[in-house]
A and B are shown apart, each in its own frame.
Chain A
Amino acid sequence: MDTLLRQRLLRHAQFTGALRSFFNARGYAEVETPTLAPHLIPEPAIEVFQTDYLPARGPARPMWLVPSPELWMKRLLAGGSGNIYQISRSFRNGDFGSPHHNPEFRLLEWYTVGAGYLDSIGITEDLFTHLIAGRAAGRPPTELAPPFIRITVEEAFDRYAGIDLARCQEPAALTAAARARGITMSDSLTWEEAYHIVFLTAVEPRLPRGKPVVLLDYPSLVPTTARPKPGTPWSQRWELYVDGVEIVNCYTEETDSGALRSLVRHEEERRRGCRTSHAADAGFADLFPPGFPECSGAALGVDRLEMVFTGEKSLEGVILFPFSAIVDGQSSIHS
């Protein structure tokens, strides 16, 4: 008879296998890209792990563990890869005082050429159906089954915070509206900070539970590589929440190199606040020549997905050697 540990290992392998079989069957090429890199995506909010490369001659060169494989996968797309996916090890440094963070984690990224962000909702719903059919769910499947609930960020702010976000496009207006709703706001916040404080205090905790929720059309004032919705303050971006835990982040990818260049400049300025500064890929914006394909990219936290599918409350239930335990010198497995 299999030991509990072995049963757990097999369940885990089956889950990862089901993710791969889904994308393989749909003709996505599985790719592998570097986890150790000399430059990273221009995202200053992410703290990273730094190390040194010691070449045969010359000085040591700083290198970083990638916080996501995005940069390399976009290089492949620019080169004509077509649909691709990857389950990569990704790394994020800094605080991890939450049951939903492990500094080293598995990220599933997939890119669908010719698709927009709304198409990717359908793909994710199909992925959930596939996982449920493969008996990956350790909880009532109805709690995970499509269709997902869809709410725009604008509706969510109106419904849960009582704030008309479209009318609060200045930092002072948003701060004042939030204070009027009893939310504690410090002084001189940027718009993006004020937005996140309201979102984290009043909106995210009130998102519906018991069904996956797609929150869509994020404000363009939070800079990302998502393409704006023309004539609106919103971008073609959504996130998937299950049990209030963020699982997927998805965009219609911006392909305009001018827009990407200004994003890189903006992020360069903000990166000075990081504890471990890193080199951003100077060639990032040049990855998007006129031939870069229209596509939608999605990033899914695999450990988190496995956690919500199995009904675990913490990543420790799905990661064999959780970081918090190994840094405390405990390397035994709980099964």
Chain B
Amino acid sequence: MIKASDVMKGTFILINNQPHVCTERDYVNPGKGSAFVRLKLKNIKTGSVLRQTNKVQDNLEDVSVEFRETQFLYADTENYSFMDTKTYEQFTIAIEGEEEKRNFLKDGENYQVVFWESTPIDIKLPTKMVFTVSEAEKAERGDTVSGATKVITCETGLKVKVPLFIKQGDRILVNTETGEYQERVNT
């Protein structure tokens, strides 16, 4: 069991015997009553999203999961393929419901994958990742206005809004949760 107040973003819990991952968590104390946590939960198997609010002291059923170090191999039209870096065992995770991760997965890069009862259920992205700019419009003279941005494309196809001084070949740090540009990386 896990206390509702201990459920954080990324925590796995069981609802009606279905594993769910918490994707949003908001602590709310209306000040005039009890305290609550408002959760947004994604069903790992179906991808459907559930919103629920619990009293902080409610007990929820937690899921014991295992994190494995894996290498991302490739994506085809239906699945992501990974290899366990310890056992060299290969496995797939359906793209459906995980489409937004496609452009954060780099061939040959290591990622943690979450297993539940020997089934891979989730890909953990690092909070921040470095990408190389593969396509960017040339900056014009006078492009120094602070706050002005343009959209560039990275090697995985990821599109990111960046400051105007970023050019093709630059390496940039991107927040994988928001998809936002963080900074240029000097190499």
Q: Give residues in A with beta carbon < 8 Å to B.
A: 43, 45-47, 92, 94-98, 101, 183-184, 186, 189, 192-193, 196-197, 199-201, 205, 222-224, 249
Nearest chain A CB to B32 CB, angstrom units: 5
Q: Which of B5, B35, B50 contacts A45 (CB 8 A)?
A: B35
Nearest chain B CB to A188 CB, angstrom units: 11
**B32 in contact with A45 (CB, 8 Å):** yes
- Other than the given A94-B29, A98-B28, 8 more pairs (CB < 8 A) read A94-B35, A97-B25, A98-B27, A186-B58, A199-B30, A200-B53, A201-B53, A249-B31
CB of B34 within 8 Å of the partner chain = yes
**B27 in contact with A197 (CB, 8 Å):** no
CB of B114 within 8 Å of the partner chain = no
Residue in chain B with minimal CB distance to A45: B33
Residue-wise, chain B 78-117 has the 8 Å CB interface mask toward A (1 for contact) of 0000000000000000000000000000000000000000
**B35 in contact with A43 (CB, 8 Å):** no
A92 to B31, CA, bound (A): 10
Residue in chain A with minimal CB distance to B56: A95
A95 to B109, CA, bound (A): 36
**A205 in contact with B51 (CB, 8 Å):** yes
Given A97-B8, A98-B26, A186-B58, also A196-B31 (CB < 8 A): no
CB of B36 within 8 Å of the partner chain = yes
**A46 in contact with B31 (CB, 8 Å):** yes
Chain B residues near A189 (CB-CB < 8 A) = 55
CB of B156 within 8 Å of the partner chain = no
**B29 in contact with A193 (CB, 8 Å):** no
Chain A residues near B58 (CB-CB < 8 A) = 186
A96 to B25, CA, bound (A): 11
Given A45-B29, A96-B27, also A201-B51 (CB < 8 A): yes
Q: Give residues in B with beta carbon < 8 Å to A.
A: 5, 8, 25-36, 38, 50-56, 58
Chain A residues near B52 (CB-CB < 8 A) = 183-184, 201
Given A92-B29, A95-B27, also A196-B54 (CB < 8 A): no
Chain B residues near A43 (CB-CB < 8 A) = 31-32
Interface of A is mostly: loop
**A201 in contact with B29 (CB, 8 Å):** no
Chain B residues near A45 (CB-CB < 8 A) = 29-35
**B32 in contact with A223 (CB, 8 Å):** yes
Residue in chain A with minimal CB distance to B59: A186
A205 to B35, CA, bound (A): 17
Chain B residues near A224 (CB-CB < 8 A) = 32
Residue among B33, B52, B56, B58 facing the most chain A CB atoms (10 A cut-off):
B33
Residue in chain A with minimal CB distance to B16: A184
Chain B residues near A249 (CB-CB < 8 A) = 31
Given A45-B33, A223-B32, also A95-B5 (CB < 8 A): yes
Chain B residues near A205 (CB-CB < 8 A) = 51
Chain B residues near A101 (CB-CB < 8 A) = 27
Chain B residues near A96 (CB-CB < 8 A) = 27
Return 29 A-B CB contacts under 8 Å, by A number. A45-B31, A45-B35, A46-B29, A46-B31, A47-B29, A92-B29, A94-B29, A94-B35, A95-B27, A95-B35, A95-B56, A97-B8, A97-B25, A98-B26, A98-B27, A184-B52, A184-B53, A186-B54, A189-B55, A192-B33, A193-B33, A196-B36, A197-B36, A197-B55, A200-B38, A200-B53, A201-B51, A222-B30, A249-B31
Residue in chain B with minimal CB distance to A195: B33
Chain B residues near A222 (CB-CB < 8 A) = 30, 32-33
Residue in chain A with minimal CB distance to B4: A186
A92 to B5, CA, bound (A): 17
Nearest chain B CB to A40 CB, angstrom units: 13
Nearest chain A CB to B79 CB, angstrom units: 32
Nearest chain A CB to B5 CB, angstrom units: 6
Given A97-B25, A200-B28, also A193-B34 (CB < 8 A): yes
Nearest chain B CB to A108 CB, angstrom units: 15
A103 to B44, CA, bound (A): 34
